[in-house]
Amino acid sequence: MMPGNKDAIKGVQLQEGTLRRVWGFARPYRGTIALFLVAIFAAALLALVAPFVVRGIIDTAIPNNDRGLIVLLASIAVAAAIADAALAIVQRWCSSRVGEGLIFDLRRALFAKVQRMPVAFFTRTPTGSITSRLNNDVIGAQTAVTSTLGSVVSNVIVLLTTLAAMFALEWRLTLLTLIVLPIFIIPARRVGTRLQGISREQMGYNAAMNTQMTERFNVSGATLVKLFGSGARERSAFERQAAGVRDTGIRSALYGRVFFVALGLVAALGTAAIYGIGALMVVDGSISTGTLVALAALVTRVYQPLTGLTNARVDLMTSMVSFERVFEVLDAPEAIQERPGAIDLVDPVGSVEFDTVVFRYPPASASAIASMEQNAGLGGDADPDVDVLSGLSLSIAPGETVALVGASGAGKSTTISLLPRLYDVTGGAVRVDGHDVRDLTLDSLRAAVGIVSQDPHLFHESIGDNLRYALANASDEQLVEAASAARIHETIAALPDGYDTIVGERGYRLSGGEKQRLAIARLLLKNPAIMVLDEATSHLDNENEALIQDALNNAMVGRTALIIAHRLSTIRSADQIAFVEDGQIAEIGTHDELVAADGRYAHQLNAGELVG
């Protein structure tokens, strides 16, 4: 938003039920919130003690030379100050307990929700948008309940108690104080709106700057920048965003300073009016000197809370918008859910059936959040409204190895993604051991399926931790056994830190073949009934590929295996080879049968698309 624009939230109404849901999250802390409000009210009353003490000293104790009264009143002022300090600590404890508790509750709910979102959500939503909801918006929501709402309540209480005390002392001078309020409020609202616009503009620059850093400072991004020699261009782009942050920061500081100087002048005028007219009233005998001094002390407490209340609606609405953004994620549709009464897949034997499967990728409305997707510049429904699979049927017996081959984009990877329910079929059914996968619990289904993809993902943790992701309580001996079977143990053992070696972001400290073999070791450690290998040997040289193929052959004994590969050596020994074309199984058989049939498989083989 540019500085001169209208307030971004003007006319915007909170969605129905937002406040009720906010209270739902705050409800566990209602006792602490009540204590917080009591502490605010008590502190506001204690702040009135000092002016009245001064009035008593000036009007009564000094004229009567009453030293005892002076000591008593001074002691009361000291006790009020100590009590006020204690209440300040109580307020801080309450606000931090509620605030940090809300942050924890919201982050826990959001993290669990995002984990349940389908893979399609992650393909459409940039990681930065997700982390922003878990960080910035959660903190904004917490601010709405503690800082903003607490500030509004505190300012209202201070203003009302102060005005009540001033009216009790002298109602005419109090009305004089209120006459200058329009001079105070009108510029405050205008400048406050302008400051809000500058703040939003600065947030936009910050977001763009953070996005650039996130994308350019990971291993892939940094490597790409270096390979294309784009350092100067990147620096220039970063400097533009940083300059925007700098310039908006300067404007914000100047507007803020001018604003508060102006408010200070108005407050000074009000105080001068109190002293001037009040002094005349003292001379006339209408009020006492002590009353004048007390009023002069109280009048400063009127203008201070008004500063905070001037844009109270804007601040509160802005903070509450963060809650709505959090609720937007919590309310997002979950395309992949367990059906009521879903059963566990117990002791799976590995029977797999694709029964006339039809599949098209879900629309954005069913798998994404529009406001988060737009941040990535996608917008709309980018997925083609076409069937990727159109009646694909395939039966795999327990312990059988089936290879899927075909041109790129034929639907091979899509087919295997339906097995662990990364997506759900549009029509037909996928069955494991005779059960529709939609009738099985997700945990038991995915425990029965192990996948090694073409580009296996490793976390920025140790080799041992990455392996134990498959089996959290795996012993060191089990790690060694799995790594040895995957022909990676000797490589790991040769590293200075062995299994404690940190692999780097996405495993970039390892070669492609090492990452692949580590992923295979992780799969072996999981020990699933069904193995899915999606170009799992694509990054290996011939020597390593032979070793891994031998390890996989041993590992696949007694297990069902579904393989996508372009290496003839990987698929030749499969029990069945299914040629996928246009989302269907065009032909199926053994290697020798398909070669003899001289069909699509044989044509691909003769064209050199299947390598040795």
Query: What confidence tens digit (pLDDT) does each residue in 507-542 have?
Result: 777 877 788 888 888 888 888 999 998 877 665 666
Q: Cβ-count burial of 223 within 10 angstroms (0-12 exposed, 13-18 middle, 19+ buried)?
A: exposed
Instruction: Tell me the range of 23-37, 102-116, 404-418, 423-437 where mean pLDDT is highest.
Output: 423-437
Is residue 61 within 8 Å of residue 288, measured between CB atoms?
A: no
Q: How far apart are CA 122 and CA 116, in angstroms?
A: 11
The stretch 416-434 carries a mean pLDDT of 93
Q: Would you say residue 196 has pLDDT above 70?
A: no
* DSSP codes joined into one string, 484-515: HHTT-HHHHHTSTTGGG-B--GGGTTS-HHHH
Percentages (nearest 5) of helix, strand, coil residues in the chain: 65, 10, 25
Exposure string (b/e) for 303-324, b if CB count within 10 Å is 16 or more? bebbbbbbbbebbbbbbbbbbb
Q: Which residue has the higher pLDDT, 479 or 317?
A: 479
pLDDT confidence band for 187 (50 / 70 / 90): low
Structure confidence at residue 375 (pLDDT): 47
278-287, 305-314, 565-574, 581-590: the lowest-pLDDT one: 305-314
* CATH superfamily, domain at 352-606: P-loop containing nucleotide triphosphate hydrolases (3.40.50.300)
402 and 563 Cβ atoms separated by less than 8 Å: yes
Percent residues over pLDDT 90 in the chain = 24
Confidence class of residue 10 from pLDDT cuts 50, 70 and 90?
very low
DSSP structural state of residue 27: G
- pLDDT top residue among 377 and 424: 424
Q: What is the pLDDT of residue 357?
A: 94
Q: pLDDT at position 129, please?
A: 75
Cα 429-400-414 angle, rounded to 5 deg = 40
Name the band, by pLDDT with cuts 50, 70 and 90, for residue 589: very high
For residue 70 the two structure tokens come to 């002076």
pLDDT at 576: 93
Would the pLDDT of 86 be above 90?
A: yes
Kindly report, residue by residue over 236-254, the tens digit of the pLDDT.
888 888 898 899 889 888 8
User: What pLDDT score does 351 carry?
Assistant: 93
Does residue 493 carry a pLDDT above 70? yes
The pTM score is 0.74
23-27, 38-42, 451-455: which is most confident: 38-42
Whether residue 418 has pLDDT greater than 90? yes
* Highest-confidence segment of 197-211, 254-268, 286-300: 286-300
Which residue in the block uniquely carries the two structure tokens 């300059």? 243
- State pLDDT tens for residues 540-585: 666 666 766 776 776 777 789 999 877 777 788 889 999 998 889 9
Q: Is residue 319 scored above 80 in pLDDT?
A: no
Look over the chain and give the mean of its residue pLDDT values, rounded to a whole number.
82
Residue 458, helix vs strand vs coil:
coil
CATH assignment of 15-169+321-332, given 1.20.1560.10, 3.40.50.720, 1.20.1250.20, 1.10.443.10? 1.20.1560.10
Amino acid occupying residue 112: A
Name which of 88-92, 302-306, 543-547 the model is least confident about.
543-547
More confident residue, 322 or 502: 502
Q: What whole-number distance in Å separates Cα of residue 229 and Cα of residue 68?
A: 83
pLDDT of residue 106: 87
Q: By percentage, how much of the chain surpasses pLDDT 70?
A: 84
